[in-house]
């Protein structure tokens, strides 16, 4: 079955003072309709750039993004409008994602207004969306400063749903919220997925959240996908040394299985001058000579489980 989203060999470099930064380097993955794919990595790993490439908020240098059978880069006019309806985004910061001078109803209704919906249709649909995200229709008359961070993130989710998108890209949607609110918003996203048959690309630095919410996980480091597998396999049998370090930092609830957290060794490399070969080698406790010479390719080491590490090449 053709996936809803296919990203093939996508790379993006940015010009900065002193050279270029390779934010995303040769990344490929796909998302089947109805699935959630989680992308996890530290800040600066290229996760958000990847999200913007998918939504065509920025253009890739190489590679292609195909959404719903259409090449995103080739969409023009009405085709581009249709594509934008089909893919929506929930941003990290609920406060800066809304217009503070516009009531909540206006913020949610704005995309419908742009698409030419009538006043009554906008009002009815806004009331329905507020209800779907657990707010009261009366909230339409409130201003953003009268709502809490959690309520505002619900408003952002409602706005992302106005055009009945097939794909919702969530870029760190919980990280600006209090811990107690994070679980509520995560449960809302999960309920909406079940009720509306949504497909998510879910970006987070939090492995726990990604594992709970995703069907499949990509682990990224300095613009490279270093591991790609079903979410349940990531905890059961992580392969890449970077994934193992990330997982060791999460305390187990069971004291008998709790292990010592491993610290990432070495300084994070400069993206302006990334290490040769494997980009993780300057911080990897298992680095070998070959790791400085050759970039490890992402290869399948077990069914559906791929890793980019020379340690696993004999298993391929």
Q: Which residues sit at the interface with ligand SF4, rule CB under 6 A?
A: 241, 278, 280-281, 284, 286-288, 291, 296, 309-311
Taking the C-alpha atoms of residue 80 and residue 68, their distance in angstroms, rounded to an integer, is: 12
Tell me the closest approach of the beta carbon of residue 277 to ligand SF4, in angstroms.
Answer: 7
Give me the helices (H) in 249-304, please: 289-293
DSSP state of 22: E
DSSP state of 315: G
Tell me the closest approach of the beta carbon of residue 309 to ligand SF4, in angstroms.
Answer: 3
Taking the C-alpha atoms of residue 100 and residue 112, their distance in angstroms, rounded to an integer, is: 19
DSSP state of 61: S
Nearer to ligand SF4, 207 or 278 (CB): 278
Nearest to 219 by CA among 315, 306, 311: 306
Tell me the closest approach of the beta carbon of residue 50 to ligand SF4, in angstroms.
Answer: 21
Nearer to ligand SF4, 163 or 219 (CB): 219
Tell me the closest approach of the beta carbon of residue 305 to ligand SF4, in angstroms.
Answer: 15
Nearer to ligand SF4, 4 or 247 (CB): 247
Nearer to ligand SF4, 57 or 286 (CB): 286
Tell me the closest approach of the beta carbon of residue 285 to ligand SF4, in angstroms.
Answer: 8
Classify residue 313 as left (phi > 0), alpha (psi -120 to 50) or beta.
Answer: alpha
Nearer to ligand SF4, 171 or 227 (CB): 227
Nearer to ligand SF4, 174 or 247 (CB): 247
Nearer to ligand SF4, 129 or 287 (CB): 287
Tell me the closest approach of the beta carbon of residue 241 to ligand SF4, in angstroms.
Answer: 5
| Joined tokens for residue 196 | 């509306």
Nearer to ligand SF4, 167 or 309 (CB): 309
Tell me the closest approach of the beta carbon of residue 91 to ligand SF4, in angstroms.
Answer: 32
Cα→Cα distances 217→38, 53, 182, 294, 311, Å: 5, 18, 20, 25, 20
Nearer to ligand SF4, 173 or 296 (CB): 296
Taking the C-alpha atoms of residue 98 and residue 76, their distance in angstroms, rounded to an integer, is: 27
Tell me the closest approach of the beta carbon of residue 296 to ligand SF4, in angstroms.
Answer: 5
Map tokens 């870029």 to a residue: 171
DSSP letters, 149-184, are HHHHHHHHHHHHHTT--SEEEEESTTTTS-HHHHHH
Tell me the closest approach of the beta carbon of residue 66 to ligand SF4, in angstroms.
Answer: 30
Q: What is the arrangement of strands in the sheet containing 299-302, beginning at the earlier edge strand?
A: 87-90, 167-171, 199-204, 36-40, 216-221, 224-230, 305-307, 299-302
Q: Is the dihedral of CA 27, 299, 201, 67 positive or negative?
A: positive
Three-state DSSP state, 267: coil
């Amino acid at each position: 079955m053709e996936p809803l989203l296919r990203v093939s060999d996508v790379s993006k470099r940015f010009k900065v003072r002193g050279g270029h930064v390779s934010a995303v380097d040769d990344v490929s993955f796909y998302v089947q309709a109805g699935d959630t794919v989680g992308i996890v990595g530290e800040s600066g790993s290229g996760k958000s750039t990847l999200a913007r490439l998918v939504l065509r908020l920025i253009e890739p240098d190489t590679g292609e993004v195909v959404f719903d059978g259409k090449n995103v880069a080739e969409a023009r006019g009405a085709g581009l409008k249709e594509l934008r309806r089909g893919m929506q985004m929930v941003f990290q910061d609920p406060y800066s994602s809304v217009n503070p001078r516009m009531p909540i109803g206006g913020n949610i209704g704005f995309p419908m207004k742009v698409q030419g919906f009538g006043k009554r249709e906008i009002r009815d649909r806004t009331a329905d969306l507020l209800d779907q995200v657990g707010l009261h229709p009366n909230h339409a008359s409130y201003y953003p400063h009268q709502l809490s961070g959690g309520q505002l993130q619900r408003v952002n989710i409602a706005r992302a749903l106005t055009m009945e998108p097939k794909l919702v890209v969530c870029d760190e949607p919980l990280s600006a919220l209090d811990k107690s609110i994070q679980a509520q918003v995560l449960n809302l996203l999960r309920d909406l997925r079940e009720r509306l048959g949504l497909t998510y690309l879910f970006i987070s630095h939090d492995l726990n959240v990604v594992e709970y919410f995703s069907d499949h996980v990509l682990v990224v480091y300095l613009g490279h996908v270093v591991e790609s597998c079903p979410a349940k396999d990531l905890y059961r049998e992580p392969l890449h040394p970077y994934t193992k370090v990330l997982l060791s930092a999460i305390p187990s609830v069971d004291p008998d299985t709790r292990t010592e957290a491993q610290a990432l060794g070495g300084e994070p490399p400069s993206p302006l001058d990334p290490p040769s070969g494997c980009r993780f080698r300057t911080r990897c406790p298992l680095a070998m000579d070959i790791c400085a010479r050759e970039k490890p390719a992402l290869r399948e080491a077990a069914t559906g489980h791929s890793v980019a590490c020379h340690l696993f090449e004999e298993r391929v």
